[in-house]
């Protein structure tokens, strides 16, 4: 009988995170203080982040950073995750390609987000923080942070993008079950929220706005830090456990990927699956393609501009060197709420600029076509975000068939879609549209950016 | 670092199901033809079930029945499942007990039900069946059967208990995503449905009624069989993979359970986790307690009568020797829809009569107290059904603390509750009640039963 899953034991959970910046020839450009335009210092981040996280963000120089035992112990709740050979999908596509996916959906909160949530809660707790804030799009990050906060005894307030708050009420319930306070964003509870509600009364929110609110609340709350589920260097670091496990598992399978694919919002799961493989390209010149799959309605990598920009809508954050559509960009209401973010993180942006990776953008309907096919042949209903990676995988597998090449494709199944069933209902009812961004819309948004790079 | 999970490899997926009837001194009483009151013959079941399943139901005499490779291959999608040491729960309860749970919730459809769904679909497909029907309460079985039907290329119609159809719309969506047709029961599509709607216009359904509808549709549809997710002997057989894996994993943990606990509806997950351990009691005289945890609103084992009764509301099925509250019993609208069934299967009923197992009944609010505690300390939000097993486990762990005994408790986490979040919302809002059955209600229902045993 054919092996379908490649399973590791708890002892195989990585003992160190991989910091790709150490191996990059062109280092990511520095994050800047928006007032002085000088590179940010660790101390500048202390009001927002736990010190250890500020250090990881700005000054981690080693390629390997030890995972504290307190974090690794929590990883054991669900890690290691399986690597799965997608025989069903291969057969359905009649492709010579070998398709593998890393199944991060078996996490108790349904996605890869717990990998960084637990690390961030751990470091906050370690330095005596009592309260944390965060934002969430579709709610995958918020659900993960809610459990992590509860596990480490921290109070948590989550700003959830309003459109997702209504689209995905069960994710709100999950956060509340773990004891978190959930606020629909934009809200009246912050200056940033009030301002945007005044300017745009029916605004259904964006990750950029929710970040502004969460940052503002963190700064105004005693003994409180802010946490973020994507974009930042320390998040990419924590997520490397995905790819590090997958590396061992591909060895068990006796294959090596020609292509590694992740869906792309701010970069957390994409970096997690791909950086440990990209390492082989950077350090050994290995021939491997890395593909980020983003929504056609929010195409910062394929059609944005490489630019210093704020991480949030209100401009509270430092300036990050990013491929961006502009921090005031308001993405369409696609169901992949976790991908509705205007920019890419500093590391990914540098890698993309240096052509060490590629990006594709996928229309919403293609993602649901892919998701439904995947569900029916592999049994797992994917999150709308992860469906972008599946759609990109299908394109590559079809290409392999046309070329008659037996390529090995690895993608990250970042989460399941059991809380996103309303999206599937709409898809089957024919009520979904693509929301592809036009050239004019892209131009209009980018035109407002101050050209710093 | 302490080991939290005990993980097997694909090669450790059992190669044979365990048939406990072979080892029972008092065999389960025969299932009867209601017209003749004679024991049913295999042929009598052919109109309803695939032949192989009819054989497993009535005439399986071997203790071990080989799992076909086509089923075992499908089990690889998610099996083996982890055995988890619940350190978080032990700490929260300050108990000397060692608590383990078998995590069946990582199945792609969220519960243990796939273990039998895939087997039933396989045997139907093997003998050329093209259409199948089934019923579902909370939707865990329906979701599993929907994927299994799609995987084996069968058309499926699911009668979903109306109260659950409205309480758990995402499970309906999941079934539809896998391509199944879902009908709220009672419906106008069957004689049984029309009759009960005429008699009780606002009836919100029960598993008993949904079974009548699914059976009726199967009989009226060409090349169609009926499938059932619990109660029947062949379902218990397929579910034994749960306990067989757990047996190996408890060995890895270097412990042996003093107590094995499963929630109880018709007996599928309960039998699955417990029969392979009960085997040690039957064949080696091992000292082990087996506990079924049922809802206080549907207490057939603790307060029902051992009796021949129909499996469905309309009286279409053969007569089954069961602990029952009467086949017309209408259970309260608890959220554990999978436990809203009037009777226990023939094997479990015999074991219970022979005092080889115990049963406890748990009020709905206790189950949500237990579920919320479990979610916060172990990270997994349990299904309302599984919460009954957790509540019973907590009782035993508290007892162990009082007695100062280091007992080893194993329970089955039959499914996650991510699709049941509306129930948690109601619990936190204070809108849930217990619906405990009064003695008068029990008496009233039992009084109508014909005393055959």
Q: Which residues of B touch A174 (CB under 8 A)?
A: 381, 418, 421
Residue A133 CB partners (closer than 8 Å, separation 6+)? A156, A157, A158, A159, A214, A215, A217, A218, A221, A224, A225, A226, A227
B156-185: pLDDT as tens digits: 999 999 999 998 899 999 999 999 999 999
Mutate to test the interface with A, among B9, B14, B76, B80 (most CBs of A within 10 A): B76
Q: CA B138, CA B340: separation in Å to the nearest integer? A: 9
- State the pTM of this model: 0.95
Q: What residues in chain B have their Cβ under 8 A from chain A's Cβ atoms?
A: 1-5, 7, 9-10, 69, 72-73, 76-78, 106, 108-110, 147, 150-151, 169-170, 173-174, 176-179, 372, 375-376, 378-381, 416, 418-419, 421-422, 424-425, 428
Q: Work out the average pLDDT over B3-28.
A: 97
Q: What is the pLDDT of residue A446?
A: 82
Buried b (16+ CB within 10 A) or exposed e, B101-126: bbbbbbbbbbbbbbbbbbbbbbbbbe
B228 — phi, psi (to 5°)?
-135, 145
Q: Chain B residue closest to A420 (CA)?
A: B170
Average pLDDT over residues A190-203: 95
When CB atoms are compared, the residue of A1, A76, A177 closest to B69 is A1
Q: How far is B89 from chain A (nearest CA, A)?
A: 12
Looking at beta carbons, which pairs linking A389-394 to residues 24 or more positions away fall under 8 Å?
A: A389/A261, A389/A262, A389/A263, A389/A293, A389/A413, A389/A414, A391/A293, A391/A362, A391/A366, A391/A367, A392/A261, A392/A263, A392/A291, A392/A293, A392/A360, A392/A362, A393/A89, A393/A99, A393/A101, A393/A261, A394/A89, A394/A93, A394/A370
pLDDT at B450 over 80: no
Residue with tokens 């207490």: B299
Q: Is residue B21 part of a domain?
A: no
Here the tokens at position A304 are 């944005």
The confidence score (pLDDT) of residue A25 equals: 97
Task: Give the closest-approach CA distance of B138 to chain A in angstroms.
Answer: 15
* Residue showing tokens 């007990």: B97
Q: Which residues of A touch B106 (CB under 8 A)?
A: 106
Fill in the DSSP letter of residue B404: T
In a domain, B186, yes or no: no
Chain A residues in contact with B169 (beta carbon < 8 A): 421
List, in sequence order, every residue forming a beta bridge with A103; answer none if it has no partner: A413
For chain B, the domain total comes to: 1
In a domain, A191, yes or no: no
CA dist., res. B149 & res. B74, Å (int): 12
Q: What is the mean pLDDT of residues B285-299?
A: 97
From the list B2, B78, B372, which residue is nearest A177 (CB)?
Answer: B372
Exposed e or buried b per residue across A229-238, where buried means at least 16 C-beta atoms within 10 angstroms of its C-beta: bbbbbbbbbb
Task: Please give the average per-residue pLDDT across A92-114, as a whole number.
Answer: 97
What are the beta bridge partners of residue B407? Answer: none
CB contact under 8 Å between B379 and A169, yes or no, is no
Q: Per the domain annotation, does B31 fall within a domain?
A: no
Partners of residue A78 in chain B, C-beta under 8 Å: 379
Domain contains A100: yes
Check which CATH number belongs to the domain holding B399 and give it.
3.40.50.1100
Please give the mean pLDDT across all residues of chain A.
Answer: 96
Instruction: For B320-362, write each residue's pLDDT tens digit.
Output: 999 999 999 988 989 999 999 999 999 999 999 999 999 999 9
User: What six digits make up the tokens of A406?
Assistant: 């037996």
- Rounded to the nearest angstrom, the minimum Cα separation between A147 and chain B is 6
Residue of B nearest to A11 (CA): B3
Q: Which two tokens mark B106?
A: 């990582």
The closest CB to that of B178, out of A78, A151, A376, belongs to: A376
List CB contacts (< 8 A) between B181 and chain A. Answer: none
Which token pair is A381? 């209903």
In angstroms, the CA B162 to CA A376 distance is 26
H helices of A229-363, in order, are: 233-253, 268-284, 300-303, 346-353
Whether residue A9 and residue B7 make contact (CB cut-off 8 A), yes or no, is yes
Choose, out of A379, A413, A423, A429, the residue to mutate when testing the contact with B (most B CBs < 10 Å).
Answer: A379
Contact A256, A408 (CB under 8 A): yes
**Residue span of the structural domain in which B339 resides:** 5-12+67-110+234-446
Q: What is the DSSP secondary structure assignment for residue B104, as one 8-state letter?
A: G
**Which positions in chain B touch A424 (Cβ < 8 Å)?**
173, 176-177
**Contact criterion met (CB < 8 Å) for B428 and A376:** no
Q: Is the pLDDT of residue B446 over 90?
A: no
pLDDT at A442: 87
Q: Is the confidence at residue B237, as pLDDT, over 80? A: yes
Q: What is the pLDDT of residues B361-383, one digit of tens each?
A: 999 999 999 999 999 999 999 99
Partner-chain residue, chosen from A10, A170, A379, that has the shortest CB–CB distance to B108 = A379
Please name which of B14, B71, B45 lies closest in space to residue B272, comparing C-alpha atoms.
B14
A402-443 confidence digits (pLDDT tens): 999 999 999 999 999 999 999 999 999 999 999 988 888 888
pLDDT value at position A178?
Answer: 97
Q: Which residue has the tokens 């055959």?
A: B452
pLDDT at position A418, please? 95
Phi, psi for residue B126 in degrees, rounded to 5: -60, -35
Q: What is the mean pLDDT of chain B?
A: 96
Smallest CA–CA distance, residue B305 to chain A, in Å, is 38
Shortest CA distance from A15: residue in chain B: B1
Interchain pair B379, A421: CB under 8 A: no
Of B69, B110, B379, which is closest to A77 when you measure between CB atoms?
Answer: B379
Distances B71 to A329, B79, B110, B117 between C-alpha atoms, Å: 50, 11, 18, 10
Most B CBs within 10 Å, among A110, A117, A173, to test the B interface: A173
> What was the pLDDT predicted at B182?
97
A428 assigned to some structural domain: yes
ipTM of this predicted structure: 0.92
Q: What pLDDT digit, counting tens, does each position of B60-86 carry?
A: 999 999 999 999 999 999 999 999 999
Please tell me the predicted confidence (pLDDT) of residue A126.
98
Cβ separation A108–B379 shorter than 8 A: yes
Task: Flag whether pLDDT at B451 surpasses 70.
Answer: no
Predicted confidence (pLDDT) at residue B398 exceeds the cutoff of 70: yes
Distance set, CA B289 to CA A172, B87, B92, B240 (Å): 39, 22, 24, 17
Looking at residues A316-341, what average pLDDT do you find?
93
Model pLDDT for residues B119-167, shown as the tens digit of each residue: 999 999 999 999 999 999 989 999 999 999 999 999 999 999 999 999 8
Is A450's pLDDT higher than 80? no
8 Å CB contact between B115 and B102: no
| B223 has a pLDDT exceeding 70 | yes
**Cα–Cα distance for residue pair B449/A93, rounded to 1 Å:** 56
In a domain, A19, yes or no: no
CA distance A166 to chain B (A): 14
Give a yes or no: residue A139 inside a domain: no
| Helix/strand/coil for A410 | strand
How much is the pLDDT for A451? 64
Cα distance between residue A46 and residue A52, in whole Å: 9
B chain contacts of residue A108, beta-carbon cutoff 8 Å: 378-381, 416
- The nearest CA of chain B is from the CA of A261 a distance in Å of 21
pLDDT in tens, A261-313: 999 999 999 999 999 999 999 999 999 999 999 999 999 999 999 999 999 99
Query: Scanning every residue of chain A, which has its alpha carbon at the shortest distance from the alpha carbon of B78?
Result: A5
Provide mean pLDDT across the span A393-407: 97
Can you say whether residue B299 is alpha, beta or left, with left for phi > 0 and alpha for psi between -120 and 50 degrees? beta
Interchain CB distance below 8 Å, A425 and B176: yes
**Spatial separation of the C-alpha atoms in residues B423 and B430, rounded to whole Å:** 11
**pLDDT above 90 for B271:** yes
Residues B381, A1: C-beta atoms closer than 8 Å: no
Predicted pLDDT of residue A453: 61
Interface touch A174/B9, C-beta < 8 Å: no
| Arithmetic mean of pLDDT, B392-396 | 98
> Does the distance separating the beta carbons of B418 and A110 come in below 8 Å?
yes
Closest to B212 in 3D by CA, of B120, B300, B123, B328: B328
How many CB pairs (< 8 A) connect A and B? 115
Closest residue of chain B to A368, computed from CA coordinates? B177
Predicted local confidence at residue B453, as pLDDT: 61
Q: Tell me, what's the pLDDT at B444?
A: 86
């Amino acid at each position: 009988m054919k092996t379908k899953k490649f399973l590791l034991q708890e002892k195989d959970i990585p003992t160190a995170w991989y910091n790709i910046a150490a191996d990059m020839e062109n280092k990511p450009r520095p994050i800047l203080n928006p007032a002085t335009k000088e590179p940010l210092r660790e101390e500048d981040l202390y009001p927002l982040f736990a010190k250890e996280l500020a250090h990881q963000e700005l000054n981690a120089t080693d390629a390997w950073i030890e995972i504290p035992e307190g974090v690794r112990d929590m990883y054991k709740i669900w890690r290691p995750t399986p690597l799965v050979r997608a025989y069903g999908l291969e057969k359905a596509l009649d492709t010579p390609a070998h398709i593998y996916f890393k199944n991060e959906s078996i996490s108790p909160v349904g996605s890869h987000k717990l990998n960084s949530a637990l690390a961030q809660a751990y470091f906050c707790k370690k330095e005596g923080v009592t309260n944390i804030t965060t934002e969430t799009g579709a709610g995958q990050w918020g659900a993960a942070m809610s459990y992590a906060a509860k596990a480490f005894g921290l109070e948590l307030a989550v700003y959830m993008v309003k459109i997702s708050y209504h689209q995905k009420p069960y994710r709100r319930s999950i956060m509340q079950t773990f004891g978190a306070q959930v606020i629909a964003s934009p809200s009246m509870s912050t200056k940033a929220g009030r301002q945007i509600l005044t300017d745009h009364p029916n605004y259904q929110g964006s990750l950029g706005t929710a970040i502004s609110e969460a940052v503002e609340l963190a700064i105004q709350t005693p003994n409180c830090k802010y946490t973020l589920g994507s974009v930042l260097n320390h998040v990419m670091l924590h997520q490397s456990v995905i790819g590090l496990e997958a590396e061992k598992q591909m060895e068990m399978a006796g294959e090596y990927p020609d292509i590694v694919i992740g869906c792309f919002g701010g970069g957390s799961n994409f970096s997690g699956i791909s950086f440990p493989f990209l390492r082989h390209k950077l350090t050994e010149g290995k021939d491997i393609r890395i593909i980020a799959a983003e929504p056609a309605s929010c195409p910062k990598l394929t059609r944005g501009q490489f630019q210093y920009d704020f991480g949030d809508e209100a401009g509270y954050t430092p300036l990050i060197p990013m491929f961006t559509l502009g921090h005031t960009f308001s993405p369409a209401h696609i169901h992949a709420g976790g991908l509705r973010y205007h920019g890419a993180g500093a590391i990914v942006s540098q890698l993309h600029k240096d052509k060490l990776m590629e990006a594709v953008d996928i229309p919403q309907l293609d993602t649901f076509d892919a998701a439904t096919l995947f569900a029916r042949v592999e049994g797992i209903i994917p999150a709308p975000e992860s469906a972008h990676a599946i759609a990109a995988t299908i394109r590559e597998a079809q290409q392999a068939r046309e070329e008659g090449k037996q390529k090995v494709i690895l993608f990250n199944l970042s989460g399941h879609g059991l809380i996103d069933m309303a999206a599937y209902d709409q898809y089957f009812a024919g009520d979904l549209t693509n929301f592809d961004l036009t050239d004019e819309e892209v131009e209009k948004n980018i035109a407002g950016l101050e050209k710093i790079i």
